[in-house]
Amino acid sequence: MKSLCLSGVQPTNFLHVGNYIGALKQWVEIQHRFPCYFCIVDLHAITVAQDPKQLRENVLNTAATYLAVGIDPKRSHVFIQSEVHEHAELGWILGTITRIAELERMTQFKDKAKRRADNVGVGLFTYPALMAADILLYDTTVVPVGEDQMQHVELTRTIARRFNTTFGDTFVIPQALIQKQGARIMGLDDPSVKMSKSATSTMNYIALTDDDDTIRKKIMRAVTDSGKDIVYDPDKKPAVTNLLTIFHHMTGRTIKDLENEFEGKGYGDLKKALADAVIAHVGPIRDKIAEYRKDPKELMRVLDAGRDAAQELATTKMKIVRERVGLGRA
């Protein structure tokens, strides 16, 4: 079986270091091993209310971010989900074989629905069926994601098996690929919740577009734990563990090495050094994002080519799916 990697991000805001560490950083490595399709999942983004003008801006910012972190358009295909209509069509078909009880178990749905109790659309509930379509449309074998998306990839596998059993072998069963450390970067203002683009406070995340002063301010104000020791301990020291994890990913230094360096030092020392490390790593990414946004020609060229490449695979797959399900005319 041919390997193929697919992943995506919702264009709901500027991407943050959690998206980068949990997903994008892996993509950059993976593109040297597999053919890759990286989409900007705008159909997913509208499962919560978006300002239409801002959404289109966010789509281009997200595309610019993919390229700025090192996605090479000569190797990988970057495209916008809604421009390949087969995603929505397959999402609908897979929704018909997805059980309500399965969707009710999804923790992301429960979390997001709780935050918007008076305004939960059906799309937020059926989000995992659309995500299954994104993945299965391309015979994806590998899906690099953060830990929060693991449950959705598991459900994708269940849906694919169910479809294959009902209609005949059609879909490849994909595997999630997840980091050992940093699969879930937590909020700087609250280490009990994940860092999130749509957090109510901007102090929750470091955006890849934040300027140096903002990065420093957010890190210096980050919540810490009781006690003084700078040690990696997710249960007793969730805030410090989160800062060490970000430090590790920004520098490539091991956690042990960082613990040794900060032994006997204070949280202020850790935060100062972390701010320097994040600024050194994120600064060049931020500058490249700005360059791509200033001259959108290259961005448009990449998105057109990515759409055409994705469309070719999607067209072939959907022809088979329609036949198997019995849709339309022969």
CA distance 78 to 37: 6
Q: In angstroms, give the least distance from the CB of 145 to ligand AQP.
A: 4
The verdict on 84 binding ligand AQP (CB under 6 A) reads no
Residue of 25, 112, 237, 317 marked catalytic = 112
Position among 4, 5, 6, 10 found at the interface with ligand AQP (CB under 6 A): 10
The verdict on 18 binding ligand AQP (CB under 6 A) reads yes
Q: How would you label 195-221 residue by residue, b for 16+ Cβ within 10 Å and e otherwise?
A: bbbebeeebbbbbbbbeeeebbebbee
- Among 13-21, 97-105, 218-226, 288-296, the segment contacting ligand AQP (CB under 6 A): 13-21
The verdict on 19 binding ligand AQP (CB under 6 A) reads yes
Q: In angstroms, give the least distance from the CB of 121 to ligand AQP.
A: 14
CA distance 36 to 138: 10
Q: In angstroms, give the least distance from the CB of 109 to ligand AQP.
A: 11
Residue of 197, 218, 237, 317 marked catalytic = 197
CA distance 141 to 137: 11
* Interactions with ligand AQP, residue window 184-223 (CB under 6 A): 184-185, 194-198
CA distance 177 to 142: 6
Position among 142, 145, 172, 279 found at the interface with ligand AQP (CB under 6 A): 145
Per the annotation, the verdict on 319 as an active-site residue is no
Nearer CB in complex with ligand AQP: 96/200: 200
CA distance 39 to 295: 21
# chain residues binding ligand AQP, by CB under 6 A: 20
Residue with tokens 């090479």: 72
Per the annotation, the verdict on 112 as an active-site residue is yes
Neighbours of 183 (CB within 10 A): 19
- Check: CB of residue 10 under 8 Å from CB of residue 197: yes
Q: In angstroms, give the least distance from the CB of 177 to ligand AQP.
A: 10
Position among 61, 65, 149, 241 found at the interface with ligand AQP (CB under 6 A): 149
At residue 145's C-alpha, the angle toward residues 244 and 130, to 5°, is 145
Nearest alpha-carbon partner for 169 in 161, 179, 158, 178: 161
CA distance 47 to 111: 14
Q: In angstroms, give the least distance from the CB of 147 to ligand AQP.
A: 7
Secondary structure class of 76 (helix, strand, coil) = strand
Residue whose C-beta lies closest to ligand AQP: 22
> What's the burial of 188, exposed, middle or buried (CB within 10 Å: 0-12/13-18/19+)?
buried
Q: In angstroms, give the least distance from the CB of 170 to ligand AQP.
A: 25
- Among 20-28, 162-170, 249-257, 283-291, the segment contacting ligand AQP (CB under 6 A): 20-28
Position among 4, 5, 6, 23 found at the interface with ligand AQP (CB under 6 A): 23
Interacting residues of 136 by C-beta distance below 8 A, sequence separation 6+: 90, 94, 156, 159, 160, 163, 171, 172, 174, 317
Residue of 25, 110, 180, 194 marked catalytic = 194
Site residues (CB under 6 A) for ligand AQP?
9-10, 12, 18-19, 21-23, 145-146, 148-149, 183-185, 194-198
What is the set of active-site residues? 112, 194, 197
